[in-house]
Amino acid sequence: MTRMPLLLFPLIAFPLFSAAQSGDAGSKAEAPKASSLARADFKIAIAPLLSNYCTSCHGGDSPKNDLSLDFGDDRDVKQRLLKDRKVFERAAERIRLGEMPPGRRAKPTDAEKEALLRWIDRDVLKIDRPGPRDPGQVARVRRLTRVEYANTVRDLFYFKEFKPADDFPADDSGYGFDNIADLLSVSPNLLERYLKTAEQAVAELDKTAKPSPNWAEKDKTYWEPDDGVFLPIKNVKLRFNNNQDRVRLVLQTFLPRVYRRPVAPAEVERLMVFARLSLAQEGESFIRPKSVYAPLRAALCSPYFLFRIEKDPPEGIAPIDEFELASRLSYFLWSSLPDDELFKLATENKLRTHQEEQVRRMLKDPKARALIENFAEQWLCLGALKSASPDPKLFPDFDEALRQAMRQETERFVEHIFKEDRGVLEFLDADYTFLNERLAKHYGIEGVSGDDFRLVKLDPRQHRGGLLTQASILTLTSTPTRTSAVKRGIWVLQTLFNDPPAPPPANVPPLEADAKAHSGTVRQVLEKHRENVQCAGCHSKIDPYGLALESFDAVGVWRATEGGFVIDSSGVLLSGKSFKNLDEFRAVLSANQAEFRKALVDKLLIYALGRGLEYADKYAVRDICSKVSREQDRFTSMILAIVDSDLFQKRKAKGS
């Protein structure tokens, strides 16, 4: 995080955390037995599996990817494994997905695969242990994103029209989302925007507030804003004469909402400095309480407002406090600050006991729209649709109205699953979608008229259903002039299965060069491209997913031919599963429920925690997925299982 200049940003200098906050003899005697057992276990159960399925590639003098599993003397096993820890994390994922051994080579049985994975987790990575799940290293200090900042200011002051942060610089993205703590730096430009927006917010507040008719009374004054715009001091009744007491009471009420936690008297007094300076300059005779505005501007520039701050436990693993839990919940589901009900329950230390009912309440609140606008847009890469520019000569029917209709179909589809608590597997195979007349005509679907969107049941003969066949996805994964099997394949792997392929080697010519050099279908161009051995590995994983969608053109219209050639949508996945056409491909995807469930849990966890997932998180993810599966994969069940997990509920001490 960038160091913050104190002259430009005096309140950032506040101390960030000032107000927050062996084994016995018996076990030693058994150790040799356990060690002997581990060596015997490796020799009997693991070494033969490595020999049967792995060492033909990962052995000998030139092992593939410089990874040798030909251990020889098992006394060297531990040293070799520790050296290749990260490699084994990746290897375990490939084994789990059925991609290793690759291609049509003999693959281990389910029992053998489980034995290999258990060995890697238990003996190599040492993460398969009883006890609380390791919650990983969630950032202690996490800046609000541009969207979170705008929503927080809006809800803090109950603004309706004022929209801050429109001119803020875009936040950097990682793991598919822009709320990753490690990437949320603070630049001088952003500091200037914070100061400017604080001024604008207070000016907007000044416009909406007005003195009450009783202002002329000398003994009492009321400041009652329109429509509860400034709730923290609504209905406050004080004697007109040391103004300082009035400001102090306002801050005592207001600051806990700004900082999203209780405040200490010293924190209030720190901001009272600004009120006294304002009073000294303005004098005692004013119509509106401008002495309040200076400390409010200061509070909006405080690190306690601009950052989400959590305390590390002194040691080990421990639950976060209830105010931190309230913020985790509200920024996960609303991308905004906790409301009064969450804050009240946290104050009473009852939020955890009422957690499920609060989550259900929050998902029904209009602010849960943030899950569509913030999470789903990034998850599905919908932002790329804004810049999609199909060639008007090749696709004359594409215009801005159609682009917006495409986007609305996907947004309404996602919103329906979220708000109606549908099964998340409908993302893969739903037999309905949301259409208006324009988009229905684009799809060749009859019986839909008017501009309003409505739920439409799909006929299997229309080859539509789920996210993959929606025009928004098919358009954003195409080029301006033609489809892109590579873009579509990467989108499927990355979005639906959280299994993005490795980036291409730097010295490999781009696919576009082959496309220009060779005429024919996309499949034929890719076959030529795969003749380069450096390209074949990744493309054998990517291409089948994209080629299966070739029956849809670059704007999502169904077609049977391309350039006079009959389209071939058949393929074989790296796992060995094959399909002859689009409908069989969709059936293969729908059967891959466990992988999609896990991928969506992964994505939601990344978004909720603000960090990438680690290999050790797999056991928490597995527990979450098991709960969701038992609950018919309902969306609310997925959210509740995530919120109830140790990853969401706990922190570990630094260095643990």
Where are the chain's structural domains? 32-124, 139-308, 419-591, 598-652
- What's the pTM? 0.82
Judged against a pLDDT cut of 60, whether residue 55 lies above it is answered with: yes
Share of the chain above pLDDT 70, in %: 81
Q: Which residue has the tokens 């608590």?
A: 421
Judged against a pLDDT cut of 60, whether residue 284 lies above it is answered with: no
Determine the pLDDT at residue 231: 36
Judged against a pLDDT cut of 70, whether residue 283 lies above it is answered with: no
Determine the pLDDT at residue 402: 98
Q: What's the pLDDT tens digit per position in 525-560? A: 777 766 666 666 677 889 999 999 999 999 999 999
Task: Name the nearest CA neighbour of 71 among 55, 88, 53, 52.
Answer: 55
Judged against a pLDDT cut of 50, whether residue 51 lies above it is answered with: yes
Mean pLDDT of all residues in 292-301: 92
Rounded to a whole number, what is the distance in angstroms from the first to the last CA of the chain? 23
Got the DSSP string for 395-441? -TT--HHHHHHHHHHHHHHHHHHHHTT-BTTHHHH-SEEEE-HHHHH
Secondary element (H or E) of residue 456: strand 454-457
The pLDDT confidence band at residue 512, using thresholds 50, 70 and 90, is low
Determine the pLDDT at residue 117: 86
Mean pLDDT of the chain: 84
Task: Name the nearest CA neighbour of 234 among 260, 256, 219, 212.
Answer: 212
The Cα 272–Cα 257 span in angstroms is: 17
Contact assessment for residue 651 and residue 638, using Cβ atoms and an 8 Å cutoff: no
The Cα 270–Cα 606 span in angstroms is: 36
User: Which residues face 174 on adjacent strands?
Assistant: 177
Determine the pLDDT at residue 508: 67
The pLDDT confidence band at residue 224, using thresholds 50, 70 and 90, is very low
Q: What's the pLDDT tens digit per position in 123-176? A: 777 776 666 778 988 899 999 999 999 999 999 999 988 888 889 999 999 999
Q: What's the pLDDT tens digit per position in 175-207? A: 999 999 999 999 999 999 999 999 999 988 877
Q: What's the pLDDT tens digit per position in 383-403? A: 999 999 999 999 999 999 999
* Count of C-beta atoms within a 10 Å radius of residue 129: 11
Determine the pLDDT at residue 31: 39
